[in-house]
Structure 1
Amino acid sequence: MSNNLLNPIGSPPSMLQNRSVDVFCKGTEDLVKDNIVSQITKSDSKLILLICSAAFGMEVDCAGVEMVIHWGPPNDLETYIQQTG
């Protein structure tokens, strides 16, 4: 996705905290990644849907997660257990 689509030119930095849907993958900018981790661990976060690759989840405690949907199976059982918590 284009950076201008995710962060339109001239948009205020607070726009990151007001997203209800976001994407976390290898190509996501570090500032956005940090914001996602911060938002997903808050109980009052506006972020309600996170589309992510296996890049997300390692060492992140997301107690409020209600559902994980896999798009294709992981390579092994250990990876599946790690991804589903």
Structure 2
Amino acid sequence: MNDLSFSWHDKYINDLGFNQFQAYIRDVNNALANLRPGRHYNVETSVPAENHDLFIKICCTYILSHPDYEFSEDYTKIRRKYP
């Protein structure tokens, strides 16, 4: 993710509304927190296509403070590494 200023938040708040945006962030963060080590989410099959961009941005933000997660090179999978 190239935009570490989080200016992308404004676009999604305008599109979704503040409460729905916050709820989606909470849902993605909870899903990641519950992902067992060695497991992954397939973005293409687990996330509706219209949410891919936002899902990936939220995951990138999550990874900043949780280094035990990583994306595949093509950003189609996010995996929780073994400790």
Q: Same fold (TM over 0.5)?
A: no
Higher Cα Rg, which structure: 1
TM-score, normalisation: structure 2: 0.34
Q: Give the TM-score normalised by structure 1.
A: 0.33
Query: Which has more helix, going by share of residues?
Result: 2
